[in-house]
């Protein structure tokens, strides 16, 4: 999960969600599988209330290794301030990693 507290920046919230997901992951099987981090196919799914407003290239750039694709879907949550002058944007991310068979 990533949050843009002020600014209604869906890409910022999405990049924070990707960073959060990466920090909570560990892929330690490369050597045992005869693979390297360069062999990864990384699919990032980002959910926000306005997916068309995402910069998927900026989100893909947040993934340091592999071949990356980003799919934007409806989801997440926008929370308006009590005054209605500001919106807190929440994005959810899922990161799926796969390798070519062989």
Distance CA 77, CA 58 (A): 20
Higher per-residue confidence, 27 vs 92: 92
CATH topology (fold) of 2-21+37-98: 60s Ribosomal Protein L30; Chain: A; (3.30.1330)
pLDDT tier for residue 39 given thresholds of 50, 70 and 90: confident
Is residue 2 pLDDT above 90, yes or no?
yes
Q: What is the mean pLDDT of the chain?
A: 91
What does the domain layout of the chain look like in residue ranges? 2-21+37-98
pLDDT of residue 9: 97
Q: What is the DSSP string of 35-101?
A: --GGG-EEEEEEEES-GGG--HHHHHHT--SSEEEEEEEE--EEEE-TTSS-EEEEEEEEEEEE---
Residue percentage of the chain with pLDDT more than 90? 67
């Amino acid at each position: 999960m990533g949050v843009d507290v002020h600014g209604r920046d869906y890409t910022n919230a999405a990049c924070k969600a990707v960073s959060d997901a990466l920090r909570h992951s560990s892929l330690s099987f490369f050597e045992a599988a005869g693979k390297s981090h360069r062999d990864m196919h990384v699919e990032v799914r980002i959910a926000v209330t306005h997916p068309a407003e995402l910069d998927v290239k900026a989100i893909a750039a947040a993934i340091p290794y592999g071949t990356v694709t980003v799919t934007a879907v409806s989801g997440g949550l926008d929370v308006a301030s009590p005054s209605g002058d500001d919106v807190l944007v929440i994005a959810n991310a899922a990161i799926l990693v796969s390798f070519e068979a062989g």
